Every structure is written in structure tokens, then in C-alpha cells.
Chain A
Amino acid sequence: MAVFMPIVKGLIGAAIGFAIGGGISQLITSFTKEPATEPMIVLGYVFAVIGWLMGVGMWKVWGRQWFGKSTNNDPTGGWERYLRFNIDHKVIGIQYITSLVVVFLLAGVLAILIRVELMDAGQNIFTKNTYNTTMSLHGIMMIAVAVAAVMGGFSNFVLPLIIGAEDVAFPRVNALSFWIVPPVVVLLLLSPLFGGFDTGWTAYPPLATQTPIGGLLFELAFLTFGISSILGGMNFIATIVTQRAPGMTWGRLPIFAWSVLAASVISLTATQWVAYGLLMIIFERVFNMVFFSPPGGNALLYEHVFWFYSHPAVYIMILPAFGAELEIISHFARKPLFAYRWVVRAFALIVFLSFIVWAHHLFTSGMGENLHGPFMILTELISIPTGVIFLSALGTLWRSKLRLKVPLLFALGVVFNFSIGGLTGIFLADVATDIALQDTYFVVAHFHYTIMGGEIFAIFAAGYYWFPKITGRMYNETLGRIHFGLMFLFYNITFLAMFVPGTVGMNRRVAEYPPEFEFMNLVTSIAAFALGIAFLPWMYNMLNSWIRGPKAPDNPWDAKTLEWQTSSPPPLENFDEFPTVTGDPYGYGDESVIHAKFPNSTDAISAEGD
């Protein structure tokens, strides 16, 4: 039981914190006659998070230093090291990945429930309110997975290794950004018990200011998650700038590191905007402010502020996914990454453009019509750098001898799915078609094609690709292929079928719909159930291989990048001897290109075979 001590201490800390914060709030509000539940929850929650953090180990690792006392940040230990405030980036990566897998599965179950409800036109298992809460929860939980699984999970584990560093630039901040995620999950899971929230994950006012307490919990959770994202972004930028191995020039930086850098720039600056959007909602609820109510206020303010983050946020999701995809394609095609420099330029251009396209979400919201044209054109411009990334993938694949392993299969799946996602996006960027398609299942299908078909497939590609490095064991190739085959097939049926009712006007976010859409919805639902089953071989494969799988070699893919040049799993300091980078990470087919040398070893990394 001793292994759970930090968690227990954290919970006790949270309880004490909530009592202190809630008490202060009650004391203050006892002077007014206003109802005081929501202020008490907000202030209590803030203190509870602090108490939780201190309890799980932040006090021991970090807090004591503020008072000039000695700290203990020993990251070693048995598996209890995963259950406390630990500053080792590999531990934090695994903490992120495993927690988000749980969130992913929970949100997946919610998706299945949604599809059960939508099997026929009437109302089945949900009331309208519980349906809305379910789809809102599914949305925000999947968004959390999409934002943090690559950026928090795989970047944390892989990024320091791939640039030849010992850890991230700020290991304690890194641990902090993980440990403020559990309160987010707890709040989201609690919210249905307090009336839920029927706003969808976008939380538009004025509805969002009128939801029950469950809505407030959701808003606090989202806000907290933003803090985690900001700190992570700051840490990754500082890591890439300062922690690269000697000789790792910008031109030799693996493309995955570039993509993480690009996404970090967005999460560092844009996330503040959604934080402000949610803060305004909370202020309007708690202090009766009038950001969104007449005469002065206007709900459009929230939509602008919200999408100023939430549109760039899809690039926080997709850019590292593209990075992982290109990384995998190059290593498995045994060819240098095609147009490497142009991909880096494309990342930079996407980061820039992502900040000036947000209002395409407001075409039907009553925004000034003079803004429609510019935002349409700016949005469509994004297809140019995205196209560059696709051309790089295709150019790398062109006339290569592919090693068709599971990671590559998923990476190819990204190329296929995101093409559909990207092409259907053009209709939503176009004002004329968007006015008809807005708020229909066309949008839902498009979004799932980009984020699930693009990013989640890339997460699975990354998961299989780095599984041997993370666990030190090999996964089962056959089960992996079965998982890919089922997931790819039923994923595409599910969401292609969704375009059909969307095109003829089936609204999203409704539990009941006109009976003429019934057939395609039944197809979608059945395919969605099969898609759910497709994850069973994956779950079995991951668990079984982690426990009983054959020991993985250090470099099972013959890849040149640095994370494969250390043992699997890597030692605490990542490398026994630290490398000096001497060349391109993708120099396959050219014996003279050596990516890195280790001081005391004679065998430098060069391309193997093929």
C-alpha cells in the first residue's frame, strides 16, 4: 500500500485545500446576500489543486526550496515512481500516455453510447439533457487526449532522447504540467453528478453561464488543462533551444522535434486566450459580470476569444502527429525525408496562419460580413503548407522499398484519412457552402477525419513505433496488423457514412432527428460498434506484450535517430555516453552520412542494409 502514499497524501492535501479555500469564500460572501455556492467551489478548487500538488510530492521535490530547505528529487524507484511527483521525463511520458489511454477509452465508451442513441430517430437511452452532457463530455475528453497525448506523452518521452539530451530544460515544471491533469479528469467525471453541462465542449455563452454546477466544473477543468498545456509548450521550446546534443544544428534536427517546436509556439501563446474566455464565463457566473449580456456585452466576444485558441489548437494536435508520421515514413521507407527544409518552412507557415483564420468558425454567428472574404481566403491558404507536408510524405514513399510494419501502416493511414479530412475542409472554409453545412454532421465527419483519422492514427503509429523503446519489449506484429485492418476499415465506414446525412442537413448535437436519416445513421452506428471492437486486439497486445513480450533490441527498426542509439528502455540519464551529432538523421542509402558518434564506441551510426 505504501506505493499509493503520495496519491493519498495528495487527496488529503486537496481536501484540506478545498476546506481552506471554500472557508475563505464563505467568510467573504457571508457579508453579502448573494448565493455563495459557485464562489465557494471556485476558490475551494484553486486551493484544492495546490493541496493536491503539494501532497503528491511537489512540496518535497520543489516547495521546500522556496523556504531555503533541502529538497529530494530522486526519480528512481520501482513502479511506485510512476505514482508520485517525478521529474524524469521518461516517467512523465509514461504517466501521460497511460492516463490518456484511460481517458481515451472512457470517451470511446461515451461515443458508443451516443451511437446507441442515434441508431434510430427517436429517443432511446438518454433524455435530451443526458444526451447533451454525454456528447459534451465525449468532446472535451477526446480534445484532452488529442492535445496532450502527443505533446505530453510521446514528446515527453521521445523529444529529449531524439535530440540527445539528458532531460527537458525544466524537469520540475514538466512534472507540474502532468500532475495538474488528474484534477481535470476528476472534475470532468464529477460534472455529470452535478447536473452536467449541455453546451458541447465549446461552452458558448449565454448557455454556458446558465448551466448547473456541472458546467462550472467543466469550465474549471478546461482552464486547468490550459495551464498544463502552456507550461508544456514553454518547456519544449526551452528544451529544443538549449538541450540539443553538440552538433545537432537546426538543419539536423529530426522533423518530429521541429513539429513539437511548432506546436509548442502555439500552445505557449494561444492557450492563454481560451483561459481568458473561460475566465470571462466564470466571472460572469460568479461576479455577475456582463461580458456576454446586453447592453454592452456580446456573446460574439467569447466566440472570437475561444476560437483564437481553439483553431490553432487543432494544429497543436496535428503538427506533432505530422512530425511523427514523416519520421516513421522516412525510417520505414529507408529513404531521406523528401523536402525536409520545405517541411520546416511549412510548419512555420502553418503556425503563422493558424493565428489569423479563427473567424471561419463564426461565418454563421452574426459576425460582420466584411470579415467573411478575408477569413475564407486565409483559411484556404493553409492548404498550401499542408500540401507541402503531404508532398514530403509522398516524395519519401516514391520508389522506396517499404518495410510494411504496423507503425508504417498507421502512418499511411494518416496520409489517406487526412486527405479526406483536408478536402472536406475546403467546403467548410468556403463561406457559400459553409452556411449550408454549418452545424451538421458534415462538420462532425470532417473534424473526425482530421483529428481522429489524422492525429489518433498518428498516435497509434507513434505508439507502435516507440513501444519497444518505452517498454523494452516487442509488440505482436500480427495482432497489430489485425488492429490496423479493423480500425482502418470501420473507421472509414463510420465517418464516410456520416457525411451523407450531414450533406442533406442533419443537425449535430441532437438526440432525435428526422426519420429519413435513419438508414445512414444505423450504418454509422454498426460500423462504430465494430470500430470499438477493433481496439480490443490493441489493448490485449499492449498489455500482454508489456508484461510477457520478447525483449526488444535497442534498435529494432535500424533507425538512425538518437533515441534508438541507447538501450531499450533507456537508462536514467538517457545515454551511457552522450553523442556528438555529425550529420543528417535521415541519411539512408548513403554510407558516408553518419548521424552521430559516441565518444568511446567505434561503431558510429550509419545506414544498415537495404
Chain B
Amino acid sequence: MTNHVPHHVNHRFDALTINRLGLWLFLVSDASFFIALLSSRFFVVGTSTPEHVDQVLGLSLTILLLLSSLTAYRAEAAAEHGDLPNAKKMLLATIGMGIIFVFGVGYEWYEAFKHFPPSTGFGTVLFTLTGVHVTHVVTGVLTLGFVYFRIRKSKTIGDNQWAVEGAVKWWHFVDVAWVFIYPTLYLIK
């Protein structure tokens, strides 16, 4: 049985445009979730940040995630120009940095349990914000992983153009979310 393919009649928008619109709408929706998250930080603990927050770790995680956004961008650009080997390399680099980030957050949690466990105000905020964010990171890593395995054996990008683009856009979103979470959690005094 063939696939039921919609949009074969009205060609005013191609599938790529529709997919982009859908993803952007989803990002708007998810951004609204992060706004709620960020606002709860100020409600629960105001602008106070305990001394034991590991500033070096926070900054390192931020730099790592921003670098991974760069490699993700390079992967997308390479895929667009049909340079598959480079796209795969850059995807792998992004995935690698994503996994390191997840372990970094794990270490942060291990430290946080000593100074501000979830049953304290700051602990509540820290575990919720980083927890929700690291869940997003895991979905991003999984998505990039799926995309990598789909293009691993192929010679041309073919139908997977959108797969690369969508996964990379999602990764950028996850990074941008962190760019807001980082100052909210670490830098405010």
C-alpha cells in the first residue's frame, strides 16, 4: 500500500516550508514553557544565588553547548552543500559534546546534593531548571543520533535534508534555552 501523501493538490507551500512552520510553532510553544520555568526561579528564591554554585562548571557547560551549536550549524551547512562526510563528522562532534554536557549536569547534580538538595528553595529551582533542560538535551542528542544513523550509509542527502535541518534547529533551540537559564541560575546576584 502506498503512503497517503497529503498536499498533492494545492502546491502553494512545499513540504519543507510546512515542516519549518510546524517546527517553529513548536519552538514558540516550548519557549513559553521555559518562560514559565524562568519566572518560577524569581518567585521561589528571588534573585539570591548561594555561594556554593560552581561558577567554573556553569561557564564550561555554557561554552561547550555554544560550541556544539557551531558544529551543528556546520553539519547543516555541509548537508546543504552535499558534503556528506563533513556533515557526518560535524553531527558526531555535536552529539559528543551533547553527551559530555549531560555528564556535566550529572556532576553538577552530584555536587548540588551536598549544598542545596531538592528540599531547599534554590535546590528546587536548580534541579527543575537543569532537569527540564537536560531532558531537552537528551531528546536533542537522540534526534541527532537518529539523523546520523539515517545518513550514515547513504551517498547523497536525498530525503534526509529536512531531517538534518529539523534536528539542528531543535539543537539550536535547546542551546538558546540554556543561554537564558545560565544567567538566571548562576549569574544573578
Specify which of A74, A245, A279, A301 is in contact with B10 (CB 8 Å cutoff).
Answer: A245
Q: Which residues of B contact A573 (CB under 8 A)?
A: 9
Q: Is the CB of A73 within 8 A of B4?
A: yes
Chain A residues, CB < 8 A from B132:
279
Stretch at the interface among B29-37, B77-85, B92-100, B179-187: B29-37
**Complexed CA–CA distance, A363 and B37 (Å):** 24
Given contacts A171-B4, A268-B28, A270-B32, contact A297 B21 (CB under 8 A): no
A570 vs B164: C-alpha distance in the bound complex, in angstroms?
Answer: 37
Task: Decide if A234 touches B36 in the complex (CB within 8 Å).
Answer: no
Q: Does B106 contact A (CB under 8 A)?
A: no
State A287–B121 Cα separation when bound (angstroms): 13
Chain A residues near B178 (CB-CB < 8 A) = none
Which B residues between 105 and 141 are near A, CB-CB below 8 angstroms?
118-124, 127-128, 132
By a CB distance below 8 angstroms, the chain A residues around B146 are 66-67
Name the residue on B nearest A163 (C-beta): B10
Cβ of A68 and Cβ of B36 under 8 Å apart?
no
Interface mask (A165-182 → B, CB under 8 Å = 1, otherwise 0): 111111101000000000
Size class of the contact patch on chain B: 35 or more
Give Cα distance in the complex from A279 to B6, angstroms. 36
* Alpha-carbon gap, A280 to B118, bound state (A): 12
Interface of A is mostly: loop
**Which candidate, A99-107, A235-243, A419-427, A538-546, is the interface stretch facing chain B?**
A235-243
Contacting pair A276 B36 (CB below 8 A) = yes
Q: From A272, which residue of chain B is reached at the shortest CB distance? A: B33
B28→A289 contact, CB < 8 A? no
Query: A166–B10 contact, CB under 8 A?
Result: yes
Asked if residues B1 and A269 are in contact (CB atoms below 8 Å), the reply is no
26 inter-chain pairs at a CB distance below 8 angstroms, sorted by A residue, are A72-B3, A73-B3, A87-B4, A164-B10, A165-B10, A167-B6, A234-B29, A237-B25, A238-B21, A238-B22, A241-B21, A243-B10, A246-B10, A272-B29, A272-B33, A273-B32, A275-B33, A276-B37, A279-B132, A283-B118, A287-B118, A291-B44, A297-B124, A298-B43, A578-B9, A578-B10
Q: Which 4 A-B pairs rank lowest in CB-CB distance, beginning with the nearest?
A: A296-B121, A272-B33, A289-B124, A276-B36
List B residues at the A interface (Cβ < 8 Å).
1, 3-4, 6-10, 12-13, 17-18, 21-22, 25-26, 28-30, 32-33, 36-37, 40, 43-45, 118-124, 127-128, 132, 146, 149-150
Further pairs besides A173-B22, A238-B25: 11, Cβ < 8 Å: A67-B149, A71-B3, A72-B1, A88-B4, A234-B22, A238-B18, A238-B21, A244-B12, A273-B33, A297-B44, A297-B121
